[in-house]
Each structure stands twice: as C-alpha cells, then as structure tokens.
C-alpha cells in the first residue's frame, strides 16, 4: 500500500546553503526514522512558505546517495497570514506494509509547533 510520510523544518534565513542543508537534515531524519529505501518511494513533494525564494529545497534530495531517480517537486504553501514563517514541509509517498500509526512524522526546529501531538 502507499502511505505518506510528513516532515517539516524551519530555517533561520532565506539563503541557499541554509535552505539546502536544512532540507537535507529533515529528509535524512525522515528516511532514518522510517527506514525508507528510495526504491520504495513513488514521489516526494516539498513545499515552502512564500518567504523562501533563494533555492529549490529539492536540491537536497540529490545530495543523498541512491535518491537520484526519485521524482521530486517543489511548490509554495498557501500564504495564510498566521502561517509559520520560513518553513519547509515534505511529503514522501512510499510503498509500505506499515500501519498509519507506525509511520514516524518528523518535525524539527520551530516546526514542532505544527504537530505537537506527533512528537516523540
């Protein structure tokens, strides 16, 4: 079956090295926590708040060995006035036998406030 694995992280500033390294940190943590093999991934969506414009965070996925051929797309979040600023969100679609409650969603930095109910 296909399941979605979520994650989010905030960045301190809008610049390419920070965006890419923060996204890489988030992706590696999501991958580790869920034991994700790139061969089991159907696609990855990465969204950013409108204040992140200096780089495509998808660039970070290409830094992880074995993930070259995984389809990835970046998009912008809806600009809700009360939204958490400087936030990068990921959704990884995977083939898995895990139940919904076995999926580990990862929230780092100020993004922990998005889903405090899912924190370990």
pTM summary value: 0.94
pLDDT tens figures, 64-79: 999 999 999 999 999 9
Burial pattern 55-71, b for ≥16 Cβ within 10 A else e, equals bbbbbbbeeeeebeebe
Residue range 87-100: mean pLDDT, rounded = 97
- Say which residue the tokens 């093999």 belong to: 37
Q: Calculate what percentage of the chain has a pLDDT beyond 90.
A: 92
Which positions are annotated as active-site residues? 6, 62, 74, 77, 89, 107, 115
Average pLDDT, the chain: 95
The radius of gyration of the chain's CA atoms, rounded to the nearest angstrom, is 14
Q: What is the DSSP letter of 20?
A: H
Q: What is the pLDDT of residue 91?
A: 98
How confident is the model over 15-26, as pLDDT tens digits? Answer: 999 999 999 999
Domain range list for the chain: 2-114
In CATH, which superfamily holds the domain spanning 2-114?
Answer: RutC-like (3.30.1330.40)
């Amino acid at each position: 079956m296909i399941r979605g694995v979520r994650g989010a992280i905030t960045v301190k500033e809008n610049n390419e090295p920070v965006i890419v390294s923060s996204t890489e940190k988030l992706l590696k943590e999501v991958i580790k926590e869920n034991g994700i093999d790139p061969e089991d991934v159907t696609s990855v969506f990465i969204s950013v708040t409108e204040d992140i414009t200096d780089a495509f965070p998808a660039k970070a996925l290409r830094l992880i060995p074995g993930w070259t051929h995984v389809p990835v797309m970046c998009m912008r979040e809806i600009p809700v006035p009360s939204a958490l600023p400087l936030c990068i969100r990921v959704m990884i679609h995977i083939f898995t036998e895990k139940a919904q409650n076995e999926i580990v969603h990862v929230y780092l930095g100020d993004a922990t406030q998005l889903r405090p109910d899912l924190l370990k």
